[in-house]
Amino acid sequence: MSEIDLATFKASPFGTEICQTDILEAFEFLDDWEERYSYIIDLGKSLPAFPESEKIEQNFIHGCQSQVWLIHKMDEADKKLYLLIESDAIIVKGLAAVVLATFNAKTPDEIKTLDVEALFEKMDLIRHISPTRGNGLRSMIERVKLIAQNN
């Protein structure tokens, strides 16, 4: 668990102001995959700053072609998990934003029961990203679900 203060985590708009429903609606509005990729990249540009001090092995997500780090903090008051994710690759940052929009600011029980595969199916996402990016996306999701299981 990160030593970063909870306010830093809660400042993220993902999971609160930007949620999976918003992303699905945007995908339905956009005509083609070129526009959808641009949208995903723009989401990634909106990720909150990730502390350099947290780019350590303990926070590194293996299974991604790119470098990806994830940190979390549990708010004992509202019993919700708050997440921050960072990547060195622009499209992966966008995929990380989708993960945050889906899982951030949820209780561990909500995270464990979310059908993220159904979301990706509605988005037709897995079919339109490379297999290595798909594996990386699944690795991010597995890490979030493991964190939820342990909290």
List active site positions: 64
Residue 90 host element (H or E): helix 90-103
CB 118 within 8 A of CB 143: no
- With vertex at residue 85, the alpha carbon angle to CA 150 and CA 119, rounded to the nearest 5 degrees, is 80
Q: CB under 8 Å to 63, separation ≥6 — which residues?
A: 135, 136, 138, 139, 142
Enumerate the H helices of 60-89 as residue ranges.
none
- Measured over the CA atoms of residue 149, residue 60, residue 3 and residue 45, the dihedral's sign is negative
